[in-house]
Copies of this chain bind each other. A is one copy, B any other.
Amino acid sequence: MTSQNYPWPALPSGADPAWLPPAPERGSLRLKLAGVGPLIDTVRAELAELTGAGAGQLVDGTAEADVVFTTADRADELASGDLAGFDVESAEGLSQEGFAVLRQAGRVAVVGGSDRGLLYGYHHWRRQLRNGTAADGPEAEIHAPATAIRMLNHWDNMAVHPVMGQVERGYSGGSLFYADGALREDLTRVHHYARLLASTGINRVALNNVNVGPLEATLLTERLGDVVRLAEIFRAQGIAVHLSVNFSSPMLLGGLPSADPADPDVAQWWSRTADAIYAEIPDFGGFLVKADSEGQPGPYRYGRDHAEGANMLARAVAPHGGLVFWRAFVYNHQQDWRDRSTDRARAAFDHFVPLDGGFDENVILQVKYGPMDFQVREPVSPVIGAMPGTRLAAEFQVTQEYTGQQKHACYLAPLWSQVLGFDFEGEDVGGGESRRVSGLVDAVVAVSNVGADEHWCGHPFAQANLFAFGRLAWDPALAPEDILREWVQSTYDDVELRDVVVELLRDSWQTYEDYTAPLGVGWMVRPGQHYGPDVDGYEYTPWGTYHFADREGIGVDRTVATGTGFTGQYPLPWAARYEQLDSCPDELLLFFHHVPYTHRLGSGETVIQHIYDTHFAGVERVEEMVAAWETVRHRAPAPVAQRVSERFAEQLRSAVEWRDQLTTYFSRKSGVADEHGRHIHP
């Protein structure tokens, strides 16, 4: 656990620094750092960069400072010195990851609950410095993460997969970590990436795709050296690394005849393998497992259940403090479209809820936020409200698999915020924080959207999603628009540009929903690719993803009364709200009900008119976005300006395609004309 990496290698000149641009406001700040711990060096390097770029100077000893950075364990000691006059008592009882920002007569003290808390405090202060709000503000701000585990999953393959590419659902070029089947030689960008993550509070990453190929499987054993190198870089930013593992590893790598979790040889193989990892990486996070899912091996192969599978792995890492993230994304992907009784939405609940209480303490069941698969709109997964005896993670997608693939500007924080704030006892009744998703989970996890792309995420504005995910994982109560504003202030210098970008992105999730699949029904994308419209693309496939549109109506009847019974997986009041047509929220209507096109929504519109209206409006909104962007694009750095303009051109083309296909499809099928007489292609 060295800090040999510091100061970190600088990004090549001209590279996109995302929300950590090197040049802060110029100033004459006197900055002082005190404290001990491995991450103090990291804060020191941050301060050195800041002062090197013109923010002021580092001071030490008894010199007076404008800003003091220290840890809570030294606060008493400093109270008579550097911290004299500050409200030091407020910083008592800080959690390890927490921090306080204290202010007194124009001076600032950033106190971390530990060196880790100080790192987070530093970045908080730096954002305020950039906003011009560092020196004034409350006498004491106290911050601590709402969720202990804030993690990104990388779906990176070491080599280019013939179908899925190098980064599965990546949309941002190759992998930051790997090239040509091996770890990259030059990991400069990984250093910077780790800084970006730490600045938002991310504290764990999984380094490889959950679909673990034979090459990637060897990261566990013969390629462990690669993991060691990455772990060093992430460690310096307080981030623990995980590996996605193939459940059949004892066979693939260990030459055993089976991977049966009940086989002592198998358990022993995992145990020995974990020991070997921890010998090299004492702070290794643990494993991430996609088992019995979409063709991946798992315990079902041996007649064991998922608790048996997960616990066996958990016991291998438990002695070292490791965790096992076990994905609940298990369903029948060989479904028959003719069979209306099988419902993929039910699958995770049916598979896992009966196992509640059976998972070891260091197993975290990782549950996608919705019952399907990262659609633009889904109800919250009922699994999250139904497993009080199990540690849970909510899984999101920062990568825009179904939301425009970083070709479309689509700011996702409003979606995540809504999910994290979902109260299983209903907004009106109110279960309080403990019945909200954010209160029910121990971890918030998302699939990363970064790659070797020069703008990190394909679309420069997709950086906002990466930033916002970390911030929301830290504090789910943050308003998405406030996070957006933080991001844009951190990222761009020009004030007018910032305002327009906020304006563009704020409602872009809603806009994306408007011109794509309506009213929660989902899918309607090109199979495999998941980009661009194809209304019937998934309609007759084995994936369990149907809309059942006929000439009379559309939607999936998931009611208990007449449908698949999925609504019954929710507690009251949601079970009843979703079950009844008149109380089901408009935006989820077609997820839960099959209704005639002429059914009137709560909004007063018919379903068919809603489809027409939202699709025309969505495109108009994109046209406005493009026009607004044109007014400020000259204020952005030239490479950003060019990339964003290219992306907007594609977004507009694609939105028009969505509008035209959807309106034509439903006009052909329903025979209903648009009330406003707009042109719909025949």
Contact = CB atoms under 8 A, between A and B. Distances in A.
A678 interface: no
A671 B338 CA distance: 18
Nearest to A526: B527
8 contacts: A162-B162, A533-B540, A536-B537, A540-B657, A550-B669, A550-B671, A551-B551, A551-B669
A682 interface: yes
**This chain: copies in complex:** 2
Contacts of A548: 682
A671 B535 contact: no
A512 to B, nearest CB: 19
Classify chain A: how many residues form its interface, as a range: 20 to 34
A474 B551 CA distance: 51
Contacts of A682: 340, 548, 550
A51 interface: no
A189 to B, nearest CB: 27
Given A162-B162, A338-B681, A340-B682, A540 B661 contact: yes
A223 interface: no
A549 interface: yes
A671 B671 CA distance: 12
A550 B668 contact: yes
Interface in A500-551: 533-537, 539-540, 548-551
Contacts of A551: 551, 668-671
B533 A671 contact: no
A626 B661 CA distance: 41
A558 to B, nearest CB: 16
A417 to B, nearest CB: 34
Interface in A356-374: none
Interface in A540-575: 540, 548-552
A383 B550 CA distance: 40
A660 interface: yes
A668 B536 contact: no
Given A162-B162, A534-B536, A534-B540, A549 B338 contact: no
Nearest to A160: B162
Contacts of A537: 536-537
A206 B604 CA distance: 65
Contacts of A660: 338
Interface in A629-678: 657, 660-661, 664-665, 667-671
